[in-house]
A and B are shown apart, each in its own frame.
Chain A
Amino acid sequence: MPRWNWIAPLTTLAAVLAGAFLTLPIAALIARAITNRAWEKLPDSPIPNAIMLSAVTTTATLALALAFGTPLAFALARRRFPLKRLVNVAVELPIVLPPAVAGLALLIAFGRRGAIGAALDDLGITLPFTTAAVVLAQTFVAAPFYIRAAQVAFASVPREIEDAARVDGADGAALFWYVTLPLSGRALSAGLVQCWARALGEFGATILFAGSLQGRTQTMPLLIYNLIERDIDAAIWTGVLLIGLALAALLIAGALRREGEREG
Chain B
Amino acid sequence: MKLRILLIVLLLSLVSSVRAQDSRTLIVFAAASLTDAFEEVGAAFEAENPGVDVLFNFAGSSDLAAQLVEGVPADVFASANARQMNVAIDAGVIAADFAAEPPIFVRNRLVVIVPADNPARIETLNDLANTGIKLVIAAEGVPVRDYTETMLDALAADADYDAAYRNAVLANVVSEEANVRQVAAKVALGEADAGIVYASDVTPDIADDVIAIAVPDAYNVIAAYPIAAVSDGAEPALARDFIDFVLSDVGQTLLADWNFVPVIELPSPEATPEATTAP
Q: Which residues of A does B touch, CB under 8 Å? A: 25, 29, 107, 111-113, 126, 128-129, 207, 210-214, 216-217, 224-226, 228-230, 232, 235, 239
Cα of A226 to Cα of B190 in the assembled complex, Å:
23
Task: Please give, as numbers and ranges, the residues of chain B lying within 8 Å of A112 by CB-CB distance.
Answer: 119, 190-191
Cβ of A29: which chain B residues have Cβ within 8 Å of it? 2
Question: Are the CB atoms of A107 and B189 closer together than 8 Å?
Answer: yes
CB of B175 within 8 A of CB of A213, answer yes
Q: What are 18 of the A-B contact pairs (CB < 8 Å)?
A: A29-B2, A107-B191, A112-B191, A113-B189, A113-B190, A129-B134, A129-B136, A129-B192, A211-B175, A212-B176, A213-B174, A213-B175, A214-B176, A224-B1, A229-B139, A229-B141, A229-B142, A235-B1
User: How far, in Å, is B50 (CB) from chain A's closest CB?
Assistant: 37
Question: How far apart sit A107 and B175, CA to CA, in the bound complex (Å)?
Answer: 15
Contact B141 A230 (CB under 8 A): yes
Considering only CB atoms, which chain A residue lies closest to B62 in the complex? A229
Q: Is A228 a contact partner of B175 (Cβ separation < 8 A)?
A: no
Determine how close the nearest CB of chain B comes to the CB of A208; give it in whole angstroms: 9
Of the candidates A25, A129, A212, A214, the one whose C-beta lies within 8 Å of that of B2 is A25
Taking Cβ atoms with an 8 Å cutoff, the residues of B that contact A are 1-3, 6, 60, 62-63, 65-66, 119, 134, 136, 139-142, 173-178, 186, 189-192
Of B63, B119, B177, B191, the most chain A CB neighbours within 10 A belong to B191
Give which listed residue, B1, B65, B173, contacts A225 with CB less than 8 A.
B1
A126 CA to B134 CA in the complex, in Å? Answer: 10
A98 to chain B, nearest CB (A): 14
Q: Which residues of A contact B186 (CB under 8 A)?
A: 211
Contact of A226 among B136, B139, B173, B191 (CB under 8 A): B139
The 4 A-B residue pairs whose C-beta atoms are closest, nearest first, are: A211-B175, A229-B62, A129-B174, A230-B141
Query: A232 touches which one: B66, B139, B192 (CB < 8 A)?
Result: B66
Contacts of B191 in A (CB 8 A): 107, 111-112, 128-129
Contact of B139 with A211 in the complex, beta carbons under 8 Å:
no
Establish whether residues A230 and B62, one from each chain, have CB atoms under 8 Å apart when the complex forms. yes
Chain B residue contacts of A235, Cβ below 8 A: 1
Within the assembled complex, what's the spacing in Å between the Cα atoms of A111 and B2? 30
Q: How far is the CB of B142 from chain A (nearest CB, A)?
A: 7
Do B173 and A213 touch across chains, with their CB atoms under 8 A apart? yes
Give A28 Cβ to nearest chain B Cβ, in Å.
Answer: 9
Complex interface: chain A residues within 8 A of B174 (CB): 129, 211, 213, 216
Beyond A212-B139, A212-B177, A235-B1, 18 extra complex contacts between A and B, CB < 8 Å: A25-B2, A25-B3, A25-B6, A107-B189, A113-B189, A129-B134, A129-B175, A129-B191, A207-B178, A211-B136, A211-B175, A212-B175, A228-B63, A229-B60, A229-B65, A229-B142, A230-B140, A232-B66
A235 to B4, CA, bound (A): 14
Residues of chain A with a CB closer than 8 A to B192's CB: 129
Closest-by-CB residue of B relative to A216 is B174
- Bound-complex Cα distance A141 to B34 (A): 33
Residues of B near A230 (CB, < 8 A) are 62, 140-141
> Please, which residues of chain B bring their CB within 8 A of the CB of A213?
173-176
The interface residues of chain A lying within 8 Å CB-to-CB of B189 are 107, 111, 113
Give the residue name and chain of the B residue nearest to A111 (CB).
B191
Assess the B178–A226 pair: CB atoms within 8 A. yes
State the CA gap A128–B175 with chains docked (Å): 10
Chain B residues whose C-beta falls within 8 Å of the C-beta of A111 in the assembled complex: 189-191
Nearest opposing residue in chain B for A221, CB measure: B1
CA–CA, A42 to B134, complex, Å? 30
Tell me which residues across on chain B come within 8 A of A210, comparing CB atoms. Answer: 175
Question: In whole angstroms, what is the CA distance A229 to B141 when docked?
Answer: 7
Q: With CB as the reference atom, state the residue of chain B lying closest to A231.
A: B141
Least Cβ–Cβ distance between B161 and chain A, in angstroms: 24
Tell me, rounded to whole Å, the shortest Cβ–Cβ distance linking B152 to chain A: 17
Contacts of B60 in A (CB 8 A): 229
For residue B139, which residues in chain A have a CB less than 8 angstroms away from its CB?
212, 226, 229
* Docked CA distance A239–B119 (Å): 39
Please measure, in the bound complex, the distance between the C-alpha atom of A210 and the C-alpha atom of B139, giving whole angstroms. Answer: 14
Find the residue from A216, A230, A239 having the highest chain B CB count within 10 A.
A230
